[in-house]
């Protein structure tokens, strides 16, 4: 099972190749940043693998960028968000929360309608195929019975007042295919969800990647955090993971939240993804 570059027939592509494959010029401040022992300690407090932590530039829809910490390759946080997550997990361990497998301790506020916009301006606009895929992804989330969060989707460029913006960042990620997002903070989903390098994939695969990254933004971790088997690896990401009743404890080959995706994805939740969402929300 091999990994092929974009432009050939890609067998598997990570949902997080954007950061590792970025070749654009980085602002000097990012180059000077170090992953401090405090950051490593906080990541380990979360039960996440500190070998998957680095600084990189995160690009916003308007083309500007800022330094961010990348965890597990496709999860993006600020140091402040990382500290908040660490505090949240400590509260959970003391009995305040109800941490469940495959999610973080940070979640979106129950019952929230999330305003989400597909970005349509400039070099980072979603293509028509990507807009369709985003619509399908949102429809799938909204169709889940018993899940207390929902999404209100619009398209345009006025993303500042929205809870979440989905945009194409291929211009800053010329190699690889996938996306990136972050975890919830202060009861809100992670705002910036970017995808890249998906031109040669069909709409179902794009739907899968968008659904996956929105999953991170509302608190999901990778389903195969214990092995990254979907990437052809055998690496434990570590994690704040307690088993969700009714979901597998081993490898779940059709989960939307596997660390890597194939060119034959259908873009749909499997029954275990739905069970996990119902437990989270």
Q: What is the pLDDT of residues 81-134, one digit of tens each?
A: 888 777 765 554 444 333 333 566 678 999 999 999 999 999 999 999 999 999
* Average pLDDT for the chain: 79
Domain annotation for the chain: domains and CATH numbers? 12-280 (3.40.390.10)
Q: Is the pLDDT of residue 74 over 50?
A: yes
Decide: pTM greater than 0.85. no
Highest mean pLDDT among 8-12, 20-24, 78-82, 207-211: 207-211
Per-residue pLDDT tens digits for 14-35: 454 333 333 233 344 566 788 8
- DSSP states of 150-210 as a string? EEEEEEES--TTSSEEEEE-GGG--S--EEEB---BTTB--SEEEEES-TTS-HHHHHHHH
How much is the average pLDDT of 30-41?
81
pLDDT at 233: 63
Backbone angles phi and psi of 263, in degrees to 5: -80, 5
């Amino acid at each position: 099972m091999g990994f092929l570059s974009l432009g050939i027939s890609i067998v598997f592509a990570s949902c997080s190749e954007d950061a590792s494959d970025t070749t654009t010029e980085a602002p000097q401040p990012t180059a000077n940043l170090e992953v401090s022992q405090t950051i490593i300690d906080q990541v380990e407090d979360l039960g996440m693998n500190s070998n998957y932590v680095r600084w990189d530039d995160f690009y916003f829809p308007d083309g500007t960028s800022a330094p961010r910490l990348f965890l597990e390759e496709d999860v993006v946080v600020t140091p402040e968000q990382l500290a908040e997550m660490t505090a949240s997990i400590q509260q959970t361990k003391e009995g305040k929360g109800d941490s469940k497998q495959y999610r973080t301790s940070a979640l979106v506020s129950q019952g929230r309608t999330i305003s989400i916009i597909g970005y349509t301006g400039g070099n980072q606009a979603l293509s028509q195929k990507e807009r369709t895929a985003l619509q399908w992804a949102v429809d799938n989330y909204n169709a889940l019975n018993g899940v207390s969060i929902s999404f209100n989707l619009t398209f345009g460029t006025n993303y500042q007042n929205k809870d979440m913006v989905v945009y194409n960042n291929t211009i800053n990620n010329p190699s690889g295919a996938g996306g990136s997002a972050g975890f919830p903070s202060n009861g809100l989903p992670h705002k910036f969800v970017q995808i890249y390098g998906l031109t040669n994939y069909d709409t179902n695969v794009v739907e899968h990647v968008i659904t996956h990254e929105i999953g991170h933004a509302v608190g999901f971790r990778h389903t195969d955090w214990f092995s990254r088997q979907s990437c052809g690896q055998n690496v434990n990401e570590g994690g704040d993971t307690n088993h969700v009743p009714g979901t597998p404890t081993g490898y779940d080959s059709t989960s939307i939240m596997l660390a890597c995706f194939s060119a034959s994805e259908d873009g749909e939740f499997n029954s275990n993804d739905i069970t996990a969402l119902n437990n989270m929300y």
